[in-house]
Structure 1
């Protein structure tokens, strides 16, 4: 127990240095839920105890006010179904999560179950969390093939921190009124009709205006005084990787032995994105973007006409009064994208792993948190993309968070063209991405070419390139 606790504290010191956005962790323990049941007594029975004794699970999570309300509603439904299991929900804002989590760990008050981020793979390697595949062995109610192909957070081929709790995807969102005012056709919604990169740039130019109402190609256009940008990208890996994949590149090479972002297919795509900022002047630089609000507000205020960011923004957009929509991402060569998502993890320090397993299954069933899947999340189970009745429950385009074109532009385009996300596929991704992000800041600012920056990074990250988990 002490040895595990020491390892965990060391891990969190490391995470603090990296300044990661994390969820929760636990200490100590090993073995299967059955073994933990013998250690923790009869209370480990899934019915809450042999004699109806109460079991309380500590659950840490983050999320917006809307997500918090939906999760709390799901907890109430779970407790009604399992009257002897009580969930103690601890909602921690993302900005405070790591600090409060470290305090919990130091006080030996780690949660039983938690939201998690990319660092969970190292926790798995440390033996701090349960292997999801082991938990599945004794539970015929779920099977690996039920889930999206690349939805797994594995730290080895047969060891997993679980599938996505729910999915999100890179998404192109726009203010339809701004398109109408500029006389620009709305973005296509079908992958086979996606804008080419040149068509995308052309549309962005027509949607970009300086203080005098001039477009980037107009004589006298002032790139230092832009009042309306055609597009804003988040400039993180979830926004640039679809373009890298579209151009035939990847984060690592196909054999997983080399840094893929330094290869010509990748650097060309990265340079095209940088050129949106520094050559075409249709997108803000990181410095300029710092004064532009979050996606929903940016579109509402007409500071930008299009945003490429995560689909989780659909919920916030549904709460505005603007005429918004979604389109497929532009392509360079082929349409490629991916699902993203965290997973629920159960800590080996938990005295009630069986009950935590039941809660994990409940919370990852889209039916139990359907309101979140109607604007914020997307399902992680294949049948919700294949069964028309289930599709209608979460992707009906009459729902506030599902605008016209959503099923083609977001649901089908991703389900039919998904590749592994680098976040849950590339080994040592967190460490590699820290170096990549710092180098790309220079590219976005026009201080270095993508080719030069990625060649420099290649030297730094070479020892960290150790293959992939999923492909």
Structure 2
């Protein structure tokens, strides 16, 4: 669904896209209706364009918007769906041309640049005039889209990271499910022990056993892979390491001795303990989220960490029962990245009132209930969260570990201007580290220097 997948690049500079014209939507007769209040006699129909990237969620949003259009006969909504790999470049290009969609999904990586460039509509006046109850949302999700005391998006959903595991493999090995694991950078905790139990070579041997051949592994126990949100951010946080000094900050904090120890342990899972597939050079330089998902679906991987947004494709593609377990408890407890998307309004839309009607609807209990009860997203409205869990329970999957993590200790995805460029610099060094070409100490030091330069160069 979301969020920060490897390979996401900041394609275009946005600084030139500030003072722009309208967004090029179509209106019957060339006129927008002056009001969308009930009882308005105007027959003019405004067409709003709504851009998103997840095809699984799009199904749910079509259901929600069908209800919205019945309640607002003077507004028609055209959904534009583009995959994550194309979405941001298209959005940036259209912003530069003044043809951006009226409403679109926003992500915390892009939000700071958009808001500081004046490309997002300030929703605070609309929220106040419409008397939207902000207390119904997760407070941390609201804060992610706040700038200078104003809100530039309302929470549409959230996600946390948990362990996906293959129930069939665990049952075959007569090993208990991974529901209460621990982890530490010194010896890997019970996570590493379990990963060893679930790693098997072609002769049925496990790592540490006499005769085990690390070059002939047929089943891996775990996946240590080069993905920030879905993997190493969580382990760094569990060991007390901060990613960024503060929101809109310019100092990356990942070059501490503790961070080096954490990353060394994660690399040791591959090269020392042999419980994880090694990284491989190629088109997708290292073992990324997509590779982890594919190995899991093929039944070659007992467990890996991922976000709840892959539930639908993973469960559909797996010919075995999928289990969800909470992240292991680290030295600083169990900590998950908790991210959320918002629905944002393009600052230069021709139809701010109608766009607000749509955003207000999408953030309403009525709409979020449709999305949650269909199992499409965890809703931004806290009280509706059980509906998502109930929808998945009917499919035979217990997703409550994601919900439990949302109620515990969480960290935000880094929120600052130019994080996309900083992340590219980090990825470049971490690729080399996961390929075992540079040490964690060297990779972290270089990555932080390059990332800081990107952040400070954009101020």
Whole-Å separation in 2 of the counterparts to 1:198 and 1:27:
54
1:102-125 Cα distance to aligned partner (Å, 9 max, x none): 665576532111123322321111
Deviates more, 1:172-181 or 1:154-163: 154-163
Whole-Å separation in 2 of the counterparts to 1:252 and 1:132:
27
Give the match for residue 174 of structure 1: 165
Structure 1 pair 108/293, CA: closer, same or farther in 2 (3 Å)? closer
Please say if 1:71 is aligned against 2:61: yes
Name the structure where helix makes up a greater proportion of residues: 1
Whole-Å separation in 2 of the counterparts to 1:41 and 1:283:
60
Structure 1 pair 397/102, CA: closer, same or farther in 2 (3 Å)? closer
Which of residues 403, 418, 427 is equivalent to 2:410? 418
- Residues 50 and 103 of structure 2 are in contact (CA less than 8 Å); yes or no, is this contact kept in structure 1? yes
Which of residues 41, 44, 56 is equivalent to 2:47? 56
Structure 1 pair 57/291, CA: closer, same or farther in 2 (3 Å)? closer
Whole-Å separation in 2 of the counterparts to 1:103 and 1:260:
32
Whole-Å separation in 1 of the counterparts to 2:112 and 2:34:
26
Q: CA deviation at 1:70?
A: 1.7
Give the match for residue 203 of structure 2: 212
Q: CA deviation at 1:394?
A: 2.1
Please say if 1:302 is aligned against 2:296: no
Give the match for residue 380 of structure 1: 380
Give the match for residue 335 of structure 1: 334
Whole-Å separation in 2 of the counterparts to 1:283 and 1:123:
38
- Residues 216 and 282 of structure 1 are in contact (CA less than 8 Å); yes or no, is this contact kept in structure 2? yes
SS for the counterpart of 1:441 is helix
Please say if 1:247 is aligned against 2:239: yes
Give the match for residue 399 of structure 1: 393
Q: CA RMSD in A?
A: 3.2
Which of residues 123, 132, 150 is equivalent to 2:114? 123
1:132-177 Cα distance to aligned partner (Å, 9 max, x none): 334322221232x332222133463314432432111112110111
Please say if 1:322 is aligned against 2:353: no
Whole-Å separation in 2 of the counterparts to 1:94 and 1:314:
17
Whole-Å separation in 2 of the counterparts to 1:293 and 1:114:
25
- Residues 225 and 289 of structure 2 are in contact (CA less than 8 Å); yes or no, is this contact kept in structure 1? no
Structure 2: state its 5+ residue gaps. Answer: 1-6, 23-29
Alignment of 1:25-174 (within 5 A): 28=20, 43-47=33-37, 51-64=42-55, 66-98=56-88, 100-101=90-91, 104=94, 108-117=98-107, 118-143=109-134, 145-151=135-141, 152-154=143-145, 156-174=147-165
Structure 1: state its 5+ residue gaps. Answer: 1-14, 31-39, 386-390, 467-471
SS for the counterpart of 2:254 is helix
Q: CA deviation at 1:236?
A: 1.5
Give the match for residue 26 of structure 2: none
Q: CA deviation at 1:421?
A: 2.6
Structure 1 pair 209/403, CA: closer, same or farther in 2 (3 Å)? same
Deviates more, 1:175-184 or 1:200-209: 175-184
1:348-392 Cα distance to aligned partner (Å, 9 max, x none): 22111111111112223464254643544212223335xxxxx2x
Which of residues 193, 204, 221 is equivalent to 2:212? 221
Whole-Å separation in 2 of the counterparts to 1:99 and 1:426:
19
TM-score, reference length from structure 2: 0.82
Give the match for residue 35 of structure 1: none
1:274-300 Cα distance to aligned partner (Å, 9 max, x none): 111111111123328759966565334
- Residues 322 and 397 of structure 2 are in contact (CA less than 8 Å); yes or no, is this contact kept in structure 1? yes
Whole-Å separation in 2 of the counterparts to 1:131 and 1:453:
39
Q: CA deviation at 1:213?
A: 2.4
SS for the counterpart of 1:250 is coil
SS for the counterpart of 2:323 is strand
SS for the counterpart of 1:337 is strand
Whole-Å separation in 2 of the counterparts to 1:83 and 1:397:
30
The count of residues paired between Structure 1 and Structure 2 equals: 424
TM-score, reference length from structure 1: 0.80
Whole-Å separation in 2 of the counterparts to 1:291 and 1:273:
14
Structure 1 pair 440/44, CA: closer, same or farther in 2 (3 Å)? farther
Deviates more, 1:170-179 or 1:225-234: 225-234
Give the match for residue 195 of structure 1: 182
Q: CA deviation at 1:208?
A: 1.0
Structure 1 pair 126/278, CA: closer, same or farther in 2 (3 Å)? same
SS for the counterpart of 1:115 is strand
Q: CA deviation at 1:329?
A: 0.5
Give the match for residue 355 of structure 2: 356
SS for the counterpart of 1:137 is helix
1:255-292 Cα distance to aligned partner (Å, 9 max, x none): 96743100122222222111111111111233287599
